Structures are given as structure tokens and as C-alpha cells.
Amino acid sequence: MVMFRHWLHLVSIMAGTADLAESFLLATEKAAIAAAKWRGRGEGKLADGAAVEAMRAVFDDVPFDGRVAIGEGERDDAPMLWIGEPLGNRQDDPGALRIDIAVDPLECTNHCAKDSPNAIAVLAAAPRGTLLHAPDCYMDKIAGPAELCGRLSLEADVSYNIEEAASALDKPIRDILAVVMDRPRHENLIKELRELDVRIRLIGDGDVSAALDAANPESEVDLLMGVGAAPEGVITATALRGLGAHFEGKLVFRNEGHRERAEEMIDGDIERIWQRNDLCMSDDSIFVASGVCSGYLPGVNFSNGHAEVHSEIIDVKKRNRTQTSRSYPI
């Protein structure tokens, strides 16, 4: 029996997160299809709930010992995939892969309700303990292409970061394009960027896709700046680790309860600046997204009794970014 358990342990060590890529892809695909059935119907909560249940149903059959490290809310916030929720059908199995998940079954819920661009089903997966385990709070973020690694800092002021970006990218400040979520909390940020004569693209939601745009050297977007949700920050950090791009985050607490939960869940300084590799600490990680509404990825296409889903996978270890489309009968 001891030898058998040792063998199981060795198997679990040899296996990697990417070995479950097919299951993670299926989870985002099924969530995207479920949410897409509610596109343009003005029912964001119903779309979100459908995506959650579709994703959870897939995870129930995945052979791993999974856990939601950071997600949409706490256990009582059903129907969300709650922080700490066990996933997979091999809980407490010593031979199972122990995986943490950062997840948003429907990123851009409001966009799905309005059938606006960039709604996606998205997750990041990595070995247990290597994704930030934190409450569903906000996160101040800054992201950009690989050329900006080591050049930007959330500790610096806006003008410094813009000047560094312009220098690293070899373009005038007035040609820099920054994406910012259109929120009252960003009034001062937007004002500072205007005063610097920076071009600004204001978005309603969807800072995961915006950060991926900023990380892409072929995109016209240079930077993502501002405060968004923390789960999406961890998901983005995983993707950008795989792309070698720049990302930093700093937790922003909506209330004292979230601050207290963070102190319980996080060892060390909860006010710190989190570098990309602090938020996703392992190369044995993967990012998966499936399009709901067209934008960063094509949205789900319903035709002739089938649903065609377009997805992207970033394998961090291989530094490999691939897109795929698959069709399912409905």
C-alpha cells in the first residue's frame, strides 16, 4: 500500500496543469454557450447564472482536486463559483493533481445582456498555492507589452509611467493609447491622461481582453490602467506571464469586511504591489477563454442546431498562444 501511494504521488508530480487543458477548455466553452443564449435579452444575472452552472457541471466530472482560489464571491453568493469551492471528482485523492482556479464564468455580464463586445468565459489554472488566494475585491492594475517590463510601477505617478512607456515604445506621448474603464472612480486618472495629451479608449467592462490587447505588440493599445476586479487581475497576470508582458496589481478593498478577509487569507502585507509573477507564481499554469459576444474573440455562433465556440489557450510553460473553434449540437 505504501508503494502504491508513493507511485500515485510520483504520477501527480509528473503530470502538469496543461494535461487538463481539454477539460478547462470544455468548461469555458460550455459556459460561453450557456451565456450566449441570453445575449441581448437584458438579463445579465440570468446569463451569469447559466454560465456558472454550465461550468460547474463540467468541473464535476474533471479528474482533479481543484479549488477556486479567487472568483466572483463568497459561498453565500450563489450561484457564483465561490472562493474556496472544491472542484473536480478527486477531492482529497493523494494521486490527483491539486489545482487552483481563478475564474469568471461570464466576464462582462452587462455586455452580454446588451450584446456588446468582449463578453467571455475565462479562467486561469495553476498548481495549488500558486495563484493569489484573496477575497472578491478590486485591484488597481497596469499592463502593457513586454517592452514595458521593469519600466512601469503602480508606486509611480501617472506622468512617470506615461513617459516611461513612450520612451520604451519609441513613440510620442500623444500617440500613446491607454485603455481605462469608464467609471467615476477613474475621474482623476482620466483627467491626468488628458492633461498629458494621451489618447484614451474608454470601455464599459472587460479589462481582461483590454490587457491582452495592451500586451500584444501588434495592437494599437499600449497600456491598460485603472481599477477593476481582482479575480480578473489574477487571470490576466497568468495570461501575461505566458506572453512575457508587463502586469502589476494592488488590492483595493470595497469595505472593511473585504480587508479583514484579505488579512485572513494572505500572508504578509495586503497593501503591497503584486508583480505579475506574484499573482501567478508557476510556469505550470494555463489561461483559457471562450468568446460569448464578438470582440477579442468571436462570439458563439448558433446555426443549424449547433453552437460554434471560439477560444484561446495560453500555455505559460510553453509560451504558446493558440486559438481554436469547435462546434456542439444544441
Q: Could you state, in order of their start, the residue ranges of all structural domains in the chain?
A: 2-130+284-329, 138-279
Return the pLDDT at 4: 37
Model confidence over 222-267: pLDDT tens digits?
999 999 999 999 999 999 999 999 999 999 998 898 899 889 999 8
Q: Please give the average per-residue pLDDT across 1-9, as a whole number.
A: 43
User: Cα(143)–Cα(226) distance, rounded to whole angstroms?
Assistant: 10
Q: In angstroms, rounded to a whole number, what is the distance separating the alpha carbons of residues 140 and 55?
A: 28
Q: What is the SS3 assignment for 169? A: helix
308: exposed, middle or buried (C-beta count within 10 Å: 0-12, 13-18, 19+)? Answer: middle
Q: In this predicted structure, what is the pLDDT of residue 79?
A: 65
Give the model confidence (pLDDT) of 66-104 as tens digits.
999 998 776 555 568 999 999 999 999 999 999 999 999
Instruction: Spell out the residues 6+ positions from residue 300 whose beta carbon is closer than 8 angstroms to its own.
Output: 32, 33, 36, 291, 292, 307, 308, 309, 310
Distance between CA atoms of 16 and 221, rounded to whole angstroms? 33
Q: Is 46 helix (H, G, I), strand (E, B) or coil?
A: helix
CB neighbours (10 Å) of residue 82? 17
Helix orientation angle between 21-36 and 44-59, rounded to the nearest 10 degrees? 150
pLDDT classification of 1: cutoffs 50, 70, 90:
very low
Query: In this structure, what C-alpha cell is assigned to residue 88?
Result: 473536480
Mean pLDDT of 312-328: 97
Phi, psi of 190 (to 5 degrees): -65, -40
Q: Residue 15 is inside which H or E element, if any? A: none
pLDDT above 90: residue 107: yes
Select 2-130+284-329's CATH number: 3.30.540.10, 3.30.70.100, 1.20.1250.20, 1.10.390.10: 3.30.540.10
Q: What amino acid occupies position 145?
A: P
What are the tens digits of pLDDT across the range 23-48? 999 999 999 999 999 999 999 999 99
Q: How far apart are CA 148 and CA 214, in angstroms?
A: 10
How large a percentage of the chain has pLDDT more than 70? 94
State mean pLDDT over 145-151: 96
pTM, to two decimals: 0.93
Domain range 138-279, CATH class: alpha beta
